[in-house]
Structures are given as C-alpha cells and as structure tokens.
Chain A
Amino acid sequence: MSITANSSGAAILDIAAPSRVRRLIRANMAVILPVATALSVLIVWQIVTVAFQIPRVILPAPSEIGAHFLTNLPALLNHARHTGLEALGAFVLATAAGATLAGLMAAFPLAREILQPNLVAFQLIPKIALAPMFIIWLGIDTPSRLAFAVFMSFFPVVISTTVGLSNTDPVSLRLCRSLAASGVQTFFQVRVPFALPYLFNGMRIASTMAIIGVVVAEFISSRAGLGFYILYSSSRMETVGIFSALLMLCIVGLVLFGAVVLAERIVRRTYLA
C-alpha cells in the first residue's frame, strides 16, 4: 500500500501545506472568530437603525452610542468609580467569607453536615427578590448595597470551593496517609491546590454577581453609580445614555474579571511552585 501511493501522496501533502497567511489566521482563530462576529452584529445593527430609521428612543445606532459615550466619559467614569469600588469590596468580602466557610466545612465534617444542605437550599432562593429587605435592614447607603452584593456573590464561591475541596484525587490523599501526613499538611499541600481551580471558578462567577448586586441595589437606592445613571437616563427617555452606561458596565465587569484571571495566574505561579 505504500509504494504506489507515494507519488500522489506527496502531491496532496504539498497542496495541503498551509501558506503563512493561512497559518497565521488558523493560529489566531480563537480571537478572530468572536471579534468578527461582534463586529458584524454592530455593522448590521448600524445598517438596520439607519435604513429603517428606527427612533433613537427605541434603539440608538452604535455610532450614536459611541459618540455619547465619549462626550460623557468623565461623568460615566465617575459613576463607574462608585459602582466599581462597591462591587470590588463586595467581591473581596464574598471571596474571603466563601473560601473561609468552605475551608471550615472541609476541615470539620460536622460543620459541613450542618451547613452544606442549608447552603444548597438557600442558593435556590431568588436572591434578587430580597434586595428591598437590605434597604429595610441597613438603610439606603453603601452598607446596604455592599451587603446585598456580598449576599449575591457569596454562594458561588462557597459552593464551588466546597466541591473542589471534596473532590481531591483519592490516591493523592492515600499517599498523604501512607506518609502519615498531618491534617494541616494534607489540607494545605494537597486539598487546597486541588481546590484552587474551583475557587477561582467561583470567584469568576462572583465577580459578575457582585456587579449585578451593586447595580440592582443602585436601582433601588442611590445618588450615584451606573445603576443610578441607567435609571436616570431611562426616566428622561434617554436610551442612548442607558447603552453608554451598559458599555461602561461591561468595561467594569471585564476589569474585575481580568483581575480574577490575573490573580489566578499569580497564585498558580507562587503557591503552586
């Protein structure tokens, strides 16, 4: 089967060999594809709004949103600072509390037996519906927004980390036992490293939940922040302002998300070395 097919086989290989441009495209496919998709949606959006003369109140064109965003950038940045800082604070608190609670549940089986079913049940509550309660409990200022955002973002961290801590490779645990490793050694040198990807997965979800929490709380009570800006624009029928704030929210979300990804890299480099 080898000798006769040899000449034609070589020819096929020649044709199939990708040129430099094709190779470059193929290597960056993961970036090119989503960006191209997003761009084409924007272009279609632009064409549709112009061609069908869709009223600005209903759907502003991307070009208008861009212009509005740039002219109002200082104000938007100021609002983003309020939302971003509160979301960051909530995210940090939720991560600290969630990871600590997950660690305690892993270290003390009794704590786990008591808490875990309750946490899973609590997770099922539509937490957004409780936002007004936080106003009643904590007033209309930062503490209530912060507490609500922590409440929103705490569960993904604790549940994901708990799953990670209980899914440690059983043979690695056996290895620890065979070496008569102490509980502390096993916990910090095997269980925690195995759980880190789960913790960071929970943190990624928590970073978006924290922003949602702050914005929802801002809808209810605030005098600043992007949630306030959206509500304000909407009351004045300024749809383009809503979209500008959304764009700014995306940027805030990306920054926070990116910070989590960066933190994960750093922790992997330092702790897991």
Chain B
Amino acid sequence: MSVAPLRTVDTQIVPDAGAGTESGTAGTAISVDGVRKIYDTGRERTEAVSGVSFDVKRGEFVAILGPSGCGKSTLLMMCGGLESITSGRIDIEGVAMTQPRPSIGVMFQDASLLPWKTVLENILFPIKILKRPMAEYTERARSLIDMVGLHGFEDKKPHQLSGGMRQRVAICRALVYDPDILLMDEPFSALDAITRDEMGEALLDIWEQYTKTALFVTHSIREAVLLADRVLVMTRRPATIVEDIRIPFGRPRPRDVSGSPEFNEICVYLRSLIESGHGAAQGRRSGDGPVLQPGRRGA
C-alpha cells in the first residue's frame, strides 16, 4: 500500500528511494557538535547529555540505542529545538537550531492526542496549524490510517483506542504533513512485538517512498537494525556515544533481512555492547565478524 501522493509536491520529496542519486539526498542534514545538556532545577543539576557529536546525512535513517534515562529524549528534543542546548551546537540544514521549525517533524514518546478530536482530526491537526489545504491532506491522512491498520477508526475519539492504537495515530500525525526531517522518540514502545514489526514495515514503506532524514530513538536492538542505516549506541547518563555502526543492508531493505545470520550477528554485537556498558568494544564495526555466537537471542 502506498501513501496518497500530494498534488503540491514539495521540492524536497525525492520519489526514488534512498538511492542518493538526486542532489536532494547529498550533504549533511543534522550536525550535532559537542552538545551538552544540563538540567538545572535550581535545587540540583542533572547532566543528561555530555559532549555528543555526530552527523546525519540527508536521506539517512539513524537509530539511537541506549538504556532508559540516558538522555535520548533530551538529545532528540534539542535537535527539534524544543529543549535548550547548554553548550555545543546543532545545525539542521546548515542553520543553527535555536527554535522549532515545521520542516522538522517530531513524534513524542508520549502519544498525547487531543482528547476532543477524532482520530482523523488529530492526524490533520498539523495541517490545520500549518494552514495547508485540508482536502488534499485528508486523502493522505486516510491512506496513512490504512497503512497503520486503523481503518474504520477514523471517527473514534482517543479514549476509545488502546495505547498502541493511539501511538499509531501519533505516527500518522507526524507523517501527514511531510516534514523533511523526522525525529521519532520510541514511536513503537507501546506496541506488542507483532504490531511493532508491522509498524516497522509500514514505516519502511513510507520511508522508501519519500526518502527523508530520520533520527529514531528506540530500546529495541532488532528494530534499530531492521530500520536504520546507522545505529548510534549511547551510554548511561550523562549520555555519550560509544558506537556508531553502519548497517550493511541496502535499500529498499529486504523485508526478510531479520532472518539472516548477519542480522543476528549485528544484534548480538549491539547487545553485548549495551550490556557491557561503555568502552568495552570500542572501535568495532559491524563488518568485524561475530562477537558472540550468532542466533542466540534476536533482540
């Protein structure tokens, strides 16, 4: 299934998936340089992020893996201009990030739909705020609803949905207005394993149709390896990046890739990295071969 194309096609939308041949996919989309974040509540200071640097190329899908409370959401919010940066700098599309821009779509960890709006109205909320033509985007919203398996729930209110369904609505809401860059904070965390895989595939479908730049926070190693071009592994708070591996599977990504031995190898490697804490396996890349016996536990 595909997303209804928009008649007003943005110049940034490249219909060809991830090939990187178009000029639109070259260059750096997100540049994070020595970023630190200290929450100062007056009574205590919490260092959430400590000296993180990385670049995300245009059209690249980067997953951030890390233990709970390590500062992933904080980092993502700083990229979206929704949280102040204590020191360092973040440039998006070459412009310093000081305030939110509608070209950056944010999907929050907490779905938080507007309780008085129906599913369809919630999804179209960004369109209303951005004052875009409602009729055109309604069609697109409906096809997104179908893709995430919420057909028939268009006119339900959030309180009539399960937590996972609400999260799927939030996914549609972040995708409907076609932002160039997507920041997603554990979008699938409230879903069961099967729906999670389905949503991952739906995201891949949408992804490969309109290549965008994405920064994707997750707890699931499998999900990161399945979806991303690169995986950044973060340490416990204050967060730093201990590993930055390239996932060797191409695009469009074969849907059965998760069955391959190489897939499991990468998962096992990442797991060992996270379990052993930082520093243990520094410098290793995915191509270095098996770190533990592959095939033990997928995720």
A residues with a Cβ closer than 8 A to B are 169, 171-172, 174-181, 185, 189-190, 193, 268, 272
Contacts and interface: CB of A to CB of B under 8 A. Distances in A.
17 contacts: A174-B106, A174-B108, A175-B108, A176-B129, A177-B82, A177-B100, A178-B80, A178-B82, A178-B102, A178-B104, A178-B106, A179-B100, A180-B99, A180-B100, A185-B129, A189-B125, A193-B116
Contact of B102 (A172, A180, A272): A180
B82 A189 contact: no
A179 B107 CA distance: 11
A180 B105 CA distance: 11
Given A177-B100, A272-B116, A171 B108 contact: yes
B128 A189 contact: yes
B110 A171 contact: yes
B280 interface: no
Contacts of A185: 129
A8 to B, nearest CB: 34
A190 B128 CA distance: 12
B126 interface: yes
B42 to A, nearest CB: 18
Nearest to B117: A272
Nearest to A196: B116
Contacts of A172: 112, 114
B194 interface: no
Contact of A178 (B100, B112, B128): B100
A103 to B, nearest CB: 19
A185 B129 CA distance: 7
Contacts of B112: 169, 171-172, 175
Given A177-B82, A185-B129, A193 B114 contact: yes
A185 B125 CA distance: 11
B27 to A, nearest CB: 23
B101 interface: yes
A179 B129 contact: yes
Q: Give the dominant DSSP class at B's interface.
A: loop
Interface string B121-136: 0000110111000000
A31 B116 CA distance: 27
A175 B106 contact: yes
Contact of A181 (B99, B114, B117, B129): B129
Contacts of B101: 180
Contact of B130 (A171, A179, A190): A179
A193 B122 CA distance: 14
A178 B184 CA distance: 13
A196 B125 CA distance: 19
B116 A179 contact: no
Contacts of A179: 100, 102, 126, 129-130
Nearest to A176: B129
A268 B116 contact: yes
Contacts of A176: 129
Most buried by A among B82, B116, B117: B116
Residue among A178, A179, A180 with the highest chain B CB neighbour number at 10 A: A178
Interface string B71-85: 000000100111000
A177 B128 CA distance: 14
Contacts of B108: 171, 174-175
B110 A189 contact: no
Nearest to B173: A175
Given A178-B80, A180-B102, A189-B128, 18 more contacts: A171-B110, A171-B112, A172-B112, A172-B114, A174-B77, A174-B82, A175-B125, A177-B82, A178-B82, A178-B102, A178-B104, A179-B102, A179-B126, A179-B129, A179-B130, A181-B129, A193-B116, A272-B117
Contacts of A178: 80-82, 100, 102, 104-106
A211 B99 CA distance: 50
A71 B102 CA distance: 69
A178 B181 CA distance: 12
A190 B110 CA distance: 17
Contacts of A190: 114
B99 to A, nearest CB: 8
A185 B112 CA distance: 18
Nearest to A181: B129
B196 to A, nearest CB: 21
Nearest to A193: B116
Nearest to B101: A180
A172 B77 CA distance: 14
Contacts of A193: 114, 116
